[in-house]
Amino acid sequence: MEIILIKNIKGLGKVGDIKKVADGYARNFLLPQKLAEPATESAIKKAEDLAKKKSRGEKEKLAETRKLAEKLKGKAVVIKAKEKGGKLFGSIGAKEIAAGLKKMGLEISEKSIVMEKPIKEIGEKEVKVKLGGGVEAKVKVVVEKE
């Protein structure tokens, strides 16, 4: 039986995909759980239209992400912290860097900031920011004494 997925199903497909599955699987699980609908001609056309809109939206989102990466290029986040002998009391992590970027007017999630380990010394360090869609940018973090 051919069905159109209404929700993402791990191991089967994503929303809008047209799949051929066993009749029993469709009738006893997918249709009653409202995870899929039968693939009629009108439903197939609706799914194709939805897929076109979705791909246009993804292209626009990727363009916005690239613009944000260009804005991040060459930026330096200055963070002031207490220190003694070049070593910090505590450390600078993704949360502090995200807050510094927010002060600069750039809304970046702390989950997007990739660090091997927190910064524990005064100085400069380059940090990678993963923006999604395979787009990455590097930001310089400058830690100064308070």
pTM beyond 0.85, yes or no: no
Q: Give percent of the chain above pLDDT 70.
A: 100
Q: Which amino acid is at 18?
A: I
What value does the mean pLDDT take over residues 60-70?
86
If asked whether residues 78 and 127 sit together in one domain, one would say yes
If asked whether residues 77 and 137 sit together in one domain, one would say yes
Mean pLDDT of the chain: 88
If asked whether residues 77 and 51 sit together in one domain, one would say no
If asked whether residues 57 and 74 sit together in one domain, one would say no
For residue 48, pLDDT over 90 is answered with no
Q: What's the number of domains the chain is made of?
A: 2
- The CATH number of whichever domain residue 141 belongs to comes to 3.10.430.100
Last residue of a domain, one of 28, 61, 94: 61
For residue 133, pLDDT over 90 is answered with no
Query: In angstroms, rounded to a whole number, what is the distance separating the alpha carbons of residues 26 and 37?
Result: 9
For residue 32, pLDDT over 90 is answered with yes
User: pLDDT band at 29, cuts 50/70/90?
Assistant: very high
Q: What is the CA radius of gyration of the chain?
A: 24
If asked whether residues 84 and 141 sit together in one domain, one would say yes
User: pLDDT band at 3, cuts 50/70/90?
Assistant: very high
Last residue of a domain, one of 11, 44, 61: 61
- The CATH number of whichever domain residue 50 belongs to comes to 3.40.5.10
Q: What is the pLDDT of residue 16?
A: 85
If asked whether residues 75 and 137 sit together in one domain, one would say yes
What value does the mean pLDDT take over residues 115-139?
88
Query: In angstroms, rounded to a whole number, what is the distance separating the alpha carbons of residues 97 and 140?
Result: 10
Domain enclosing residue 114, as ranges: 69-145
If asked whether residues 84 and 43 sit together in one domain, one would say no
